[in-house]
Structure 1
Amino acid sequence: MKYLLIAALAFASFINVNAQNLPNIELNAPEKTGGLTVMEAFAKRQSSSEFGDKELSKQDLSNLLWAANGINRENGKRTAPSSQNSQDIDIYVALPQGVYKFDPKSNNLVPVAESDYRGLAGGKKDNPLPPTILYLVADASKYTPSAYNTMEHITNMGKVDAGIVSQNIAIFCSGMGLATKPRAQMNHAELKKVLNLSDSQTLILNHPVGYLE
């Protein structure tokens, strides 16, 4: 227990040092109406790398994150299902001023690292950076240990769960007039350092998001 407390304090200290000038971002309450119908959103869904340079409004960012993997029931369950209700997918949000971790319970963005790390998601060099990039991270430590939960099974299910969150993002963007594209290519080594990921956490996908040009 003592060592766990020391590790937790060390992690908190790391975040404070690397994001000490970034305040929490308190998101607006998500708006749960509006946009196209579900079938219209499916009809318009497409991958796009063409983004306007306008930053997402706080309301649109809040709606996006809630649709991706927010809490939609009083029992704490999410808009995206997960294997064994592990809720193993965390969303890190890269903005021009820094990277944050989405906390669905408080509906806040918690600072992780100050500076612009959107370029670590890759993309074509001649394309401007999208205003927002979502990094989807699977955390194997959120599974309850059992004979069934082998590391291979947990790893595979983490990829499945990330794919479900990715589709939530894609359908939301389609229905709300935003552009996005799921991507697996990114600088994994540098992002692991920036996001201070543990050995149980794995970067799966990223989603650049912006307004349609």
Structure 2
Amino acid sequence: MKRTLAAFLALGLIATTANLAQAHELDHSDNDSTIKLVEPQIDESATLRQALQNRKSVRKFANRPIEAQDLSNLLWAAAGINRDNGGRTVPLLGDIAIYVAMEQGTYHYQAEEHQLQQVLSEDIRGRLSAQKVVGTAPVVFIMTIDDASFSDGMKRAMEKAHGMDFYYGNQVAFSTQNIYLYAGTNDMNAVVIGGVHRDKIDQMLKLKDGHHAYLVQLVGYKK
């Protein structure tokens, strides 16, 4: 049976878009370090089957910035709020902290406000991995997990069951899959890169003890 992405969204998996403004035209608030993202837009004509059919890993990107609407939708799909009680588009045991590395700087995604808070004013994309392709993507999503977002009881249960990394890996995977699905239905390429300089990223982002980068995901328009 054919489903629209509206039904897909009810499962908290994906949003789609109309492309509007260029990334360099993102709406800065009175505080220049904060970017208020535009509201996510949903294209109800795309189907779940199309999203799954088009999901793939591709390492080639057009040399142009991600448009503001697409950036907003990608972040919302990855871990945005999709209902009044604060629930997210992905299942969360604790929380996932997503950082966005672009030419103009690196930002932390704040889901409750649906905005980006700048943490670095420099372009760090080329320093995240030995793989040169990482520096060519217009947007690099840095997926991190903070131990502090999990209760002590939750951590004990997780460690006893399968180990912390099992659950942390699953949490990151939910968000990266949603990004893949969104990209596949919006003329974009995406790829996850696990071979990254994790310790170096932690240092660059000034992550506290117990907060670590796990992998990055590259996104850009098709060539």
TM-score normalized by the length of structure 2: 0.79
Q: Deviations over 1:131-175 (max 9, x none)?
A: 100000011111111242449733321111101111111111111
Contact persistence 1:22–1:114 (CA under 8 A): no
Distance 2:197 2:213 in 1: 10
Does 2:39 correspond to 1:29?
yes
Does 2:147 correspond to 1:140?
yes
Partner in structure 2 of residue 8 of structure 1: none
**Structure 2: tracts of 5 or more residues without a match:** 1-30
Partner in structure 1 of residue 136 of structure 2: 129
**How far off is 1:82 after superposition?**
1.8
* Paired-residue identity, %: 29
Distance 1:144 1:126 in 2: 37
Contact persistence 1:48–1:179 (CA under 8 A): yes
Partner in structure 1 of residue 106 of structure 2: 99
Greater shift after overlay, 114-123 or 134-143?
114-123
Give the letter aligned to residue 104 of structure 2: Q
Give the letter aligned to residue 150 of structure 2: Y
TM-score normalized by the length of structure 1: 0.82
Contact persistence 1:24–1:108 (CA under 8 A): yes
SS in 2 for 1:181: strand
Pick from 199, 202, 222: which aligns with 1:189? 199
Pick from 159, 166, 173: which aligns with 1:156? 166
**How far off is 1:179 after superposition?**
0.6
Distance 2:209 2:135 in 1: 32
Count, aligned residues: 190
Contact persistence 2:198–2:214 (CA under 8 A): no
Does 2:135 correspond to 1:118?
no
Higher relative contact order (CA 8 A, sep 6+): 1
Pick from 57, 60, 63: which aligns with 1:50? 60
Distance 1:206 1:22 in 2: 26
Taking only aligned residues, the RMSD between alpha carbons, in angstroms, comes to: 2.0
**Structure 1: tracts of 5 or more residues without a match:** 1-20
Which 4+ runs in 1 deviate beyond 2 A? Answer: 32-36, 120-128, 147-156
Distance 1:126 1:70 in 2: 27
Give the letter aligned to residue 96 of structure 1: E
**How far off is 1:34 after superposition?**
4.6
Does 2:182 correspond to 1:172?
yes
**How far off is 1:127 after superposition?**
8.1
Pick from 50, 59, 62: which aligns with 2:72? 62
Q: Deviations over 1:79-108 (max 9, x none)?
A: 01123xx2x211100010110000011111
Greater shift after overlay, 149-158 or 162-171?
149-158
* Cα distance change on mapping 1:110 and 1:126 into 2, 3 Å: closer
Q: Deviations over 1:27-74 (max 9, x none)?
A: 001112256311111111110010011101111100110011100011
